[in-house]
Amino acid sequence: MKLGKVLLTAGFLASTMFAADFVNYHNLTTKLKEEAKKDGLYATTQEVKDALTKSDWAVVDVRTMEEWSAAAIKGSQRVGREAPEKALENIVLDDNEKFVKTNLIVVCNTAARASLEAQAFRQMGFNTVKIYGINKWIDECNPVVTKYTSGEDKEGTKTKFGNYYAEHCKK
């Protein structure tokens, strides 16, 4: 019985030591976003627009499929967070496995998840990795595309999809 109490107490003390080093998600991503801004690695909307037209840049989205389907920047590509390294291979490497897109802008809603994924992408060898929040894109009245469809209604008409803008952008 004494041994059990000793082990339980030791386990509790050990767990509190490790818990002291835990950094919660919000604090970590806030810190990473602040560092990105300070280091010039928080993309501007104009940089995103420019990257979409450059051959050595890729704009990749790490949001969930549902978020991507609801609103995406036209020309960006979804890599998700499940296995972004594998998805990137199809976007940034040629048939000989050489980098053709050596720079990335990583997109998510507020740039929090993007800040986490950007660290991994930098370690993979990209020249420049910037982060960006699609909410800023939308708030600045840039269009998004959507993958949602209502299909055919009873009359047989189909919904047409194109660019969508935030309500405050409509005049």
Give per-residue pLDDT as tens, 32-89.
Answer: 999 999 999 999 999 999 999 999 999 999 999 899 988 999 999 999 777 777 778 8
In angstroms and rounded to an integer, the radius of gyration of the C-alpha atoms of the chain is: 21
* Residue 73 burial (10 A CB sphere; 0-12, 13-18, 19+): buried
Q: pTM for the complete prediction?
A: 0.79
CATH H-level, domain 25-150: superfamily: Rhodanese-like domain (3.40.250.10)
Residue the block writes with tokens 């708030």: 139
